[in-house]
Structure 1
Amino acid sequence: MCGIIGAVAQRNVVPILLEGLRRLEYRGYDSAGLAVSVNGGLTRVRKPGRVAELEAEIKIQKTHGNLGIAHTRWATHGVPSERNAHPHVSEESLAVVHNGIIENHEALRQRLSEIGYHFTSDTDTEVIVHLIHFHFHQEKDLFQATRKAVTELKGTYAIGVICAAEPNRLVCAREGSPLLIGVGIEEHFIASDVSALLPVTQKVVYLEEGDVADIGLLDFRIVDRSGMQVSRPVQISELSADRAELGGYRHYMQKEIFEQPRALAETLEEALSHGDLNPTIFGDHASNVLSAIDSVTIIACGTSYHAAMVARYWIESVAGIPCNAEVASEYRYRDSVPNPNALIVTISQSGETADTLAALKHAKSLGHVHSLSICNAPESALVRESGLRFLTRAGPEIGVASTKAFTTQLTALLLLALVLGKLRGRISAAQETAHLDALRHLPAMVNQVLLLEPQIELWAERMAFKQHALFLGRGLHYPIAMEGALKLKEISYIHAEAYPAGELKHGPLALVDSDMPVVAIAPNDALLEKLKSNLQEVRARGGELYVLADQDSQMQAQEDVHLIKLPEHAGLLSPILHTVPLQLLAYHAALQKGTDVDKPRNLAKSVTVE
């Protein structure tokens, strides 16, 4: 849940490291630091707080060097502080940066302390640097010392290592946390995320589990877990530096909300180019796999789990097969009943979400053979682990609160439901044409919803300084209510909860009063009249309603009912359209409160630890 960048070059790498850290800020962090090799020694600079504070200190110290590693830390072991910030050093001659969690750090710490190593932090990472240093004294070779050290680690790690005695050598290793090598001309880089390297290279090599890499100016070599030298392909990243720029927007979240029409259009491009609902959009063998399955289990975390919950409604309604949505961190620790004929669908924006990756591996260990990943990162571990895949084309999502990644995930899941329905003969040719026409029109419909922003800003002004909020939905839109509540919590820090509207009278109604705004999603579907009755229960208790309705819902604004009307009911696409105003509501509430919209407190973008 933090960022790594490293470089070995014939130029000063400090500006490269700092720019890489800036591009990793979206992942969430509480401190930053770097170490460079200079004149046979190491120079280290660390600061709690933002990268800008680290950069200011580096300018004062005039730090420079041709070999270096840098890190943004999100606290797990030890409070946010300079002493706990990375890089960690041993004997002022060897430095390490680390993502992940070392589960046996206490035993290693005790052993290393007994042989004379002095610990200056509360982190699990410090055991790594001392352990490598211990082996370096024996091996006299940084690569071999790192290889020996990682065999003693239990847990997850992506590490970068430099040593004052080897000023043109960068060593790295990974197990359970993402790490890649960037390939330049007579210079090489490492990073936990390709976005950190976009200013210097788009040529990348993704390390596999258990890999250790020895990196120099001119070349690099990789050995696998068994010690065999291996070749990993050099790939050209599909991301571009300009896509990750803020442009004229105030925040990345705002930019990403307004990028949704483009993101949806690009996500749908391949699917619509076939002229029919073609299973091959999920992979060459998708037709055989999707015809053979008899159920679907969708595994995800956070916002992606809300997408999974919507998909459960779609798949059971459209395809007529059982579907279950699972929280990844729970699925892997409960005694589930495996079904070899089920399709395991995993969803992740980054493709590196630790719980989701572990859940997929757990499902495979239970005997599940059919897997599909829905992901925004084509080169990610999740995609490589899955038999089938669908790549959302959202582009880089920098804001911690997911927006365009969520709506493109929903679009991918709707395509899955439609393809499954077609393969089972539940969709006629006329219905298929109608669905494809609606999907072609989706980006334009989202553009229409974005035009409602001024009305949503007025809602945000009224709600921003409330302490609590309640979100209500029914059917397909209950998970959208959950997503709306999550967005408000994430960036405005207003406590918000979501309930199926029919559950109000079973408890939540006790909370409703004039200080509890109630946001309701009221599409003109089969449950609208039921929902209207639920909303009357709120009004009867003095609650103030904020209702998102469709144009054809025949609802009217009143003194205690604030109403915004979206376009006419969009059928299966309705959850996607109703998501957008909830994103804007959270964004403008956060603006009113003055919170850090893109980097909310205590949260990280890519959750790569359990």
Structure 2
Amino acid sequence: MEKELYDIPMQAKLCYEKNKGLILPDKVPYIGMGSSYYAAIVLRYLGVKIFPELAGDYFYYIQKIRQFENAVLISQSGRTTDVINCAKCFREFVAIVNEMDSGLTNQPNMKLAVQIFAGVEKYSSTKTFINTLIVLYLGHGFDVKHALDLMERKFPEFELVGESVGSSIESSIKRKKLKCINIIGNGPNVGTAYQAALMLSESTKFPFVAMSLSQYEHGYKETAENAIVIVINPTKSILYKRTQKLMDILRNAGAKVFEINETELDEIYSPFTSIIPFFFMACYLANRLGISFPFTIGNKITERIGDQ
């Protein structure tokens, strides 16, 4: 996994250069699963007029309503069955993929294929998540070069933060004195939190649960005692002070609280740097817990479950 993490800055630059000038449609569904869906959630909280949807649920429940003629379908592999199924729900669609020759890109009603240029990825979504974000930001008029430059410059710092938090989580897991681990974000970093929880759960076989700060405040905070709460809280966040107050409340309630704090970027660009410590956290924990490969119950790509 380490090699894939260290490839992130280079592959991100390649994606940026290859996709500058891209224009993606708005006012349509952006449909994916897992990290593809979470990347679309990030964009929604930038105020972009898109409608993120989970592919499996959209195909079986929502497509009957026939609200849209067009969509953007996101599948990094291009092979995810639930996403491919959704192709038939629309007159035409744009595909966002890492693999250009795939089941999704070979659909007859595909209008455009956008490649994210993440390279080979065998472990959980890291390079592909970052590069999907790059494509989505560029496609809606956000120039992310400064965010990518900062990400590369601070990469060693992110590794240290990830390993430090990972070490504390490892101790709590091994002592078996841990009730739950929550990851909390606001605005665009709700999507970041979802992606962090997915990757950490895959990599450690321990459940991480993500949600927005407002959702956590409405009931979930009652689980704080003997829990770990990791809070994504950029300094320039609209809810920075409110989040600081919540962290104090949680510490007083007996939670172990960690803050992932982007200090330089505006909140709208902070997902590019806020996610990186979680990648290194997952890598550290997988190594320390003796987990050599994240996918043992199923494959990395869900190609057959529920295929009809």
The alignment's TM-score, normalised by the length of structure 1, stands at 0.46
| 1:522/1:335 CA distance change after superposition, 3 Å | closer
Q: Does 1:296 align with 2:7?
A: no
2:94 is aligned with 1:388: no
2:184, 2:211 within 8 Å by CA — same for their partners in 1? yes
* Residue in structure 2 matching 1:376, options 90, 95, 98: 98
> Any stretches of 5+ residues in structure 1 without a counterpart?
1-252, 283-289, 419-434, 552-567
Per-residue CA distance 1:275-296 (angstroms, 9 max, x = gap)? xx453xx6xxxxxxx4xx6x12
Whole-angstrom distance in 2 between the partners of 1:332 and 1:595: 34
Matched, 1:574 2:270: yes
Map 1:423-462; keep pairs closer than 5 Å.
435-436=142-143, 439-452=144-157, 453-462=159-168
SS class of match (1:387):
strand
Instruction: Give CA deviations for 1:201-256 in whole Å, capped at 9, x if unaligned.
Output: xxxxxxxxxxxxxxxxxxxxxxxxxxxxxxxxxxxxxxxxxxxxxxxxxxxx2111
Query: What corresponds to 2:60 in structure 1?
Result: 333
Kindly report which structure 2 residues correspond to 1:51-450, keeping only aligned pairs within 5 A, or say none. Answer: 253-272=1-20, 277-279=21-23, 290=25, 295-314=27-46, 317-318=47-48, 321=49, 323-336=50-63, 337-340=65-68, 343-361=70-88, 363-364=89-90, 369-385=91-107, 386-399=110-123, 401-418=124-141, 435-436=142-143, 439-450=144-155
Q: Which residue of the partner structure matches residue 17 of structure 1?
A: none
User: For 1:392 and 1:335, how far apart are their aligned partners in 2?
Assistant: 28
How far off is 1:570 after superposition?
3.9
SS class of match (2:154):
helix
Shift in Å, 1:398:
1.3
Q: What's the secondary structure of 1:414's corresponding residue?
A: helix
2:211, 2:252 → 1: CA distance?
A: 18
Partners of 2:101 and 2:217 in 1: how far apart?
A: 47
List per-residue Cα deviations over 1:549-592 (Å, max 9, x = no partner): 123xxxxxxxxxxxxxxxx1244321121111111111111212
The residue type paired with residue 603 of structure 1 is G
More helix by share: 2
Alpha-carbon contact 1:372-1:387 (below 8 Å) kept: yes
Contact 1:260-1:446 within 8 A present in 2 as well: no
Specify the SS of the correspondent of 2:139. Answer: helix
Q: Is the 8 A contact 2:237 2:266 kept in 1?
A: no
Shift in Å at residue 472 of structure 1? 0.6
Is 1:348–1:375's contact at 8 Å kept on the other side of the alignment? yes
Which protein has the bigger strand share? 1
Instruction: Please tell me whether the aligned partners of residues 392 and 408 of structure 1 are also in contact (alpha carbons under 8 angstroms).
Output: yes
CA contact (8 A) 2:2 2:283 kept: yes
Deviation at 1:388, TM superposition (A): 1.6
Q: Does 1:481 align with 2:185?
A: no
The answer to which structure, 1 or 2, has the higher relative contact order (CA under 8 A, 6+ apart) is 2
Shift of 1:463: 0.4
Match of 1:132 in 2: none
Cα deviation code 1:303-358 (max 9, x no counterpart): 211112112223xx25xx3x2211111111114432345x4111111101111100
Deviation at 1:446, TM superposition (A): 1.7
Letter paired with 1:330: D
Aligned AA (1:306): Y
The residue type equivalent to 2:8 in the other structure is: Q
> 1:449·1:581 contact (CA, 8 Å) conserved in 2?
no
Q: Which amino acid aligns with 1:574?
A: S
Residue correspondence of structure 1 range 534-545 to structure 2 within 5 A: 534-545=246-257
The aligned residue for residue 237 of structure 2 is 525
Q: Which amino acid aligns with 1:582?
A: F
Residue in structure 2 matched with residue 590 of structure 1 by the alignment: 286
Aligned partners of 1:549, 1:522: CA distance in 2, in Å? 5
Amino acid corresponding to residue 264 of structure 1 in structure 2: A
Gaps of 5+ in 2: none
CA contact (8 A) 1:349 1:377 kept: yes
Q: Percent identity?
A: 24
Residue type matched to 2:206 in 1?
I
Q: After superposition, what is the alpha-carbon deviation per residue over 1:463-517, rounded to whole angstroms, capped at 9, x for unaligned?
A: 024243111111111111111111111111222111211222322112111x311
Give the AA of the match of 1:394.
A
TM, length-normalised to structure 2:
0.89
8 Å CA contact 1:352–1:380 kept in 2: the answer is yes
